[in-house]
Structure 1
Amino acid sequence: MNIETYEEAKKIFLHYNGSYFHMQREEYLEQYMKFNISKKEERKWLKEKVEKILSKMSEIKNINLKYDKYWNILYILTKTLEDNHLLDKTISAFEKDLKYLDIFSINMILEMIHANKKIWKNYKRKLKTVIQQNDISINEIISKEHNKSNGTQFFTEEEVMKGYRKILSELN
């Protein structure tokens, strides 16, 4: 596995959302590190990726694809690039999408944010307001798209609702 150019290095870095761990696991890290990319440049790449995904979010109608995009964004913003401006934009987009997302996706998104205690603490109140102001009682628990992709094959609707109620209790 050779990374020949700066553009390839950038592509690999973004493919793994800036995770050195995942690059190492796939045996790209040593090659990537030879390029001596500055942390500032890496942050710039990650911000560009998040901005690009957010700008196209409203065009995506498939729930499964929307969830995947949110997962990518939140992985970046909670694991490698804490950026309040981009988090605000992401949560605003999430709020607009609540009526389209299934409970499984909403729960997984909230859990991703919850995993970063600092971000959870800072955004807990806003997330609570977002959830309270949107009636998601008519949303599917597990969408047809998720069922088709087998992404939820290990979850029953009861387990999803139990997890959702648990994360909601964390908002209080």
Structure 2
Amino acid sequence: MIIKDYSEAKKIFLHYNGSYFHMQREEYLDQYMKFNISKKEERKWLKEKVEKILSTISEVKNINLKYDKYWNILYILTETLEDNHLLDKTISAFEKDLKYLDIFSINMILEMIHDNKKIWKNFKKKLKKIIQNNDISKNEIISKEHNKLKGIQFLTEDKVIKNIEKFYLNYKVKY
């Protein structure tokens, strides 16, 4: 595909969540760069995408789709944008969804935030409090939706439980 105009450039940029690496890997980066789009404009696009996802995330019932939306948001906020206001809104939405998410999804979301040390430092206390105030021991370990996917076949329920217990032990959270 050849990027013909500004709207296609925006679409490609957002499809790859602002990742030049992923655009390069798919051979779009050179075409995209010809549009000379400012960093300010790119940040605006990413913020709009995050806001749009956040505005609809509560309507999503399928656990796998809900997890995918959180993954998208957190990838943008931890890898590209680092916007604490939007991250705070995301974590608040995550708190409301804890009772619906499976333990696999919760663990993956926490790990994604934890991997960005700067963001983790700012949100560790809030996340710890959220986890302590919500009993996830009754949540499914790996949802039916995730079990249908081939991407997690290397994970067993035991591995998921061990990962989440390790997280809880490391951050002195009761599970």
TM-score class, shorter: over 0.9
Are 1:104 and 1:141, in contact at CA under 8 Å, matched by a contact in 2? Answer: yes
Worse-superposed segment, 98-107 or 158-167 = 158-167
Matched AA of 2:121: K
RMSD: 0.8
**Which residue is equivalent to 1:155?**
155
**Which residue is equivalent to 1:171?**
171
How big is each residue's C-alpha offset from its partner over 1:115-163, in whole Å with a ceiling of 9 and x where there is no partner?
1000011100000000000011100000001001233211011100111
Match of 2:152, SS? coil
Match of 1:151, SS? helix
Matched AA of 2:161: M
How big is each residue's C-alpha offset from its partner over 1:55-81, in whole Å with a ceiling of 9 and x where there is no partner?
000100000000000000000000000
Match of 2:145, SS? helix
**Which residue is equivalent to 2:80?**
80
Residues 109-124 of structure 1 aligned to structure 2 (within 5 Å): 109-124=109-124
The 4+ residue runs of structure 1 with deviation greater than 6 A are none
**Which residue is equivalent to 2:13?**
13
Cα distance in 2, alignment partners of residues 135 and 169 from structure 1: 16
Paired-residue identity, %: 81
TM-score (norm 1): 0.98
Matched AA of 1:138: K
**Which residue is equivalent to 2:107?**
107
**Which residue is equivalent to 1:145?**
145
Q: Does 1:70 align with 2:70?
A: yes
Aligned length: 172
Q: Which runs of 5+ in 1 are unaligned?
A: none
Cα distance in 1, alignment partners of residues 105 and 56 from structure 2: 18
Are 1:127 and 1:171, in contact at CA under 8 Å, matched by a contact in 2? Answer: no
Residues 36-47 of structure 1 aligned to structure 2 (within 5 Å): 36-47=36-47
Are 1:14 and 1:49, in contact at CA under 8 Å, matched by a contact in 2? Answer: yes
Matched AA of 2:82: E
Cα distance in 1, alignment partners of residues 152 and 136 from structure 2: 19
**Which residue is equivalent to 1:4?**
4
Query: Shift of residue 169 of structure 1?
Result: 3.0
Are 1:142 and 1:152, in contact at CA under 8 Å, matched by a contact in 2? Answer: no
Cα distance in 2, alignment partners of residues 92 and 80 from structure 1: 20
Q: Which runs of 5+ in 2 are unaligned?
A: none
**Which residue is equivalent to 1:51?**
51
TM-score (norm 2): 0.96
Query: Shift of residue 2 of structure 1?
Result: 1.2
Cα distance in 1, alignment partners of residues 124 and 106 from structure 2: 14
Q: Does 1:125 align with 2:133?
A: no
